[in-house]
Amino acid sequence: MNVLVLGGGGREHSLCWAIKQNPRCDTLYCAPGNAGIAEVAICRELDICDRIQVSEFCKRKEIEFVVVGPEAPLAHGIADALRSDGLLVFGPGQAAASLETSKAFTKGICDSAGISTARYAVFDDPEKARAHVRECELPVVVKDDGLAAGKGVTVARSATEAIEAIDSIFDKQDGGRNAPDALVVIEEFLDGEEASFFVLTDGETVLPFGTARDYKRAFDGDSGPNTGGMGALSPAPAMTTEVVQRALDDVIHPTLDQLRRRGIRYQGVLYAGLMIRNGHPSLLEYNVRFGDPECQVLMIRLGAQAFDAMHACAKGTLRDTRVNWAPDHAITVVMATRGYPGRVVNGSAIKGLDRISATSSFRVFHAATARSRDGLTATGGRVLNVTVRSDSAPGARRTVYESIGQIDWQQGFFRSDIGK
């Protein structure tokens, strides 16, 4: 069958790589893709949030199956539109995507189902939000209610820092105008060990799809600002068999029950950001897509079978699907342009990638690259994901950092403590 992947980051490169290995895939398209993805898929410039453009492209190329990578097209209802065209789609519809697009919606689900999560308050009035944080215990967490590419959260150590975060959320959402729907969520700080937990669900069956630890801060030792993720390790050490079962029983199933009560069917991957304390998971947030860079470590571990599972999920036949996990470990290290998560300058040259040969357990996934006559250049903040699968986490770590040593990119930086 012909397959289309929507997105153009490291997550989508790893998805394309896994899909392309499965003999059931004939022609693989990716929109918009990037220079790395172009090595495994035919890349096309499309506005992936535009239902009509994507739908027409699918008809023209006789696409049967669409895998949606990022949250933005899901928030725009691309999955609903393509399903109504009769296509198989991996990714939830617009209503189900509220689990990510509105933190207030998710908190409401937690309240109804009694799911453990940080205590919180939601404000549409900056003055009231500022007054509230002056009364809160510190640290306090300030969140943009809507989508913010992993950068909408501030863990504030002082009331001043919290107030700055509140102001910047209202300023940004206002865009200088009066935005009636600007919301800020202020919540209690939870201590513990963080982990990302992934399940596939077709609306009925839930299939656990792996765990990972994400490294959200920009610099070594978890210092610096929050980013979209600077590296990942799978499996997540905190997600023991027992914790996984608790996460399913106490978080995932109650959430899906609540959605069903509201008449919402969830079809795709559900990603729970969890904080584990004394073996008990609390929900930090939901995402309605794979994590980036967590997807990269899941894909290098799963390979071609990821395609079968995602296809069964889209078809509604997850009940008959199994995945085989090897007792292996994977690490990905993100190489980013200096300045990330702030402003970066695009166009710096990346050399030396041809010195390292790719195998089924080693890949450099591209997150933001372009190829010109002069070679490979960086086109964004997070640029490369050096990804390794090995029998042990220390083994994976060694190979990852040896390989990074071969890459010659003056403008790049990375964390040297991923998986440590």
Interface with ligand AMP (CB under 6 A), residue from 79, 141, 239, 270? 141
Q: Which stretch binds ligand AMP (CB under 6 A): 93-101, 106-114, 182-190, 412-420?
A: 182-190
Residue 122 interacts with ligand AMP (CB under 6 A): yes or no: no
The residue count for binding ligand GLY (CB under 6 A) is 8
Please report how close the Cβ of residue 243 comes to ligand AMP at its closest, in angstroms: 17
Q: Which stretch binds ligand GLY (CB under 6 A): 103-111, 256-264, 284-292, 347-355?
A: 284-292
Contact map string, positions 225 to 264, toward ligand AMP, x by CB under 6 A: -x--------------------------------------
Please report how close the Cβ of residue 216 comes to ligand GLY at its closest, in angstroms: 7
Euclidean distance between CA atoms 210 and 323, whole angstroms: 10
Strands 382-390 and 362-366: antiparallel
Q: Taking the alpha carbons of 64, 81, 147, 123 in that order, is the dihedral positive or negative?
A: negative
Interface with ligand GLY (CB under 6 A), residue from 10, 33, 291, 412? 291
Q: Which stretch binds ligand AMP (CB under 6 A): 8-16, 23-31, 147-155, 326-334?
A: 147-155
Euclidean distance between CA atoms 109 and 264, whole angstroms: 12
Residue 195 interacts with ligand AMP (CB under 6 A): yes or no: no
Q: Which stretch binds ligand GLY (CB under 6 A): 22-30, 45-53, 285-293, 384-392?
A: 285-293
**Whether residue 237 has a cis bond before it, omega within 30° of 0:** no
DSSP 359: B
Choose between 255 and 287: whose C-beta lies nearer to ligand GLY.
287
Strands 2-7 and 63-68: parallel
Q: Which residues pair with 206 in a beta bridge?
A: 201
DSSP 258: H
Residues 293-312 that bind ligand GLY (CB under 6 A): 294
Contact map string, positions 319 to 338, toward ligand AMP, x by CB under 6 A: --------------------
- What is 71-137 written as a DSSP string? HHHHHTTHHHHHHHTT-EEES--TTTTHHHH-HHHHHHHHHHHT--B--EEEES-HHHHHHHHHHS-
**Which residues, 6+ apart, have CB-to-CB distance to 347 below 8 Å?**
377, 378, 379
Q: Cα Rg for the chain, rounded, in angstroms?
A: 21
Interface with ligand GLY (CB under 6 A), residue from 150, 192, 316, 395? 150
Q: Which residues pair with 6 in a beta bridge?
A: 31, 68
Choose between 37 and 334: whose C-beta lies nearer to ligand GLY.
334
Euclidean distance between CA atoms 267 and 288, whole angstroms: 10
Residue 153 interacts with ligand AMP (CB under 6 A): yes or no: yes
Q: Residues interacting with ligand AMP, by CB under 6 A?
A: 118, 141, 143, 150, 153, 155, 187-190, 194, 216, 226, 273, 284-285
Kindly list the residues in this chain that would bind ligand GLY in the complex (CB under 6 A): 150, 214, 228-229, 287, 291-292, 294
